[in-house]
Amino acid sequence: MAENKLITPDPWTRLQALTRARIALGRSGVSLPTREVLGFGLAHAQARDAVHQPLDVAALDAAFRDAGFATRTVTSRAPDRVSYLRRPDWGRRLAESSVSLLKASAPAPAKIAFLVADGLSSLATQRHSLPLLQALKPWFPDLCACPVVIATQGRVALGDEVGALLGSEMVVVLIGERPGLSSPDSLGIYLTGAPQVGLTDAARNCISNVRPEGLDYPEAARKLAFLLAGAHRLGRTGVELKDDSDERLPDERPEAFALAAPA
């Protein structure tokens, strides 16, 4: 009770129920209350851990296989986490051994390939990549026919090389986003058509902040389904492809098309 008398409340306190952002923290004198300082320190530590924690590739690979997906595991040219953070360009290209692996074991081409990469939050990838694809299954019954490549030390553009090697018309990259102080486990989705090395971000569409506390799995899957259908119809992605999912009726479905190559 004595502590509460020392804290001057913020008039925006009621807005805390609407967001996880760090707002309406109040003050004690000219400083933040001790609990908020400690909370900030905890959030900062969680963000740092998300960046440096290695992806549990074996567990993630087993989970995808148990769910019916065919997987392959690769690495980028960044040999370790320090190199990955210092040399973003290395994270955009596959290691030579991984190029050889995909060339030697590439399945029959599918319209879509999925790259699941650690990015800047392996925590996000570990938690949300498989639930997101499971939420996408009702929109595309043959989803499990699409190859899933799991990558470590990967950046978004790594999907361009993966998609090109697999002969896919489109590549979807599921990757851990840069952690924030209230969201250490946010997953990003990047859709790129006609993948090839050297594309810019203008060729991609992005769905961000996928996690239960942000954009939940069903809604993220719905947006991705409409983007995939639009990309299939237009034959391109990026700045020419608009996300019109919010303009559709809640029960409206995107145009259906087969993801697997014909036998």
**Residues comprising the binding site for adenosylcob(III)alamin?**
156, 177, 206
Strand runs labelled E in 97-142: 112-117
Asked if residues 76 and 90 have their Cβ atoms less than 8 Å apart, the reply is yes
Helix (H) or strand (E) holding 105: helix 96-105
Starting at the edge strand found earlier in the chain, the sheet holding 204-210 runs: 71-75, 148-152, 112-117, 170-176, 187-193, 204-210
Of 14, 42, 11, give the one whose Cα is nearest residue 27. 11
Q: What contacts 51, CB < 8 A, 6 or more positions away?
A: 85, 120, 121, 179
Sign of CA dihedral 77, 81, 83, 88: positive
> At what angle are helices 122-136 and 57-66 packed, to 10 degrees?
10
β-pair partners for 110: 260
Judging by DSSP bridges, how do beta strands 187-193 and 204-210 pair with one another? antiparallel
Judging by DSSP bridges, how do beta strands 170-176 and 187-193 pair with one another? antiparallel
Q: Which residues are annotated as a binding site?
A: 156, 177, 206
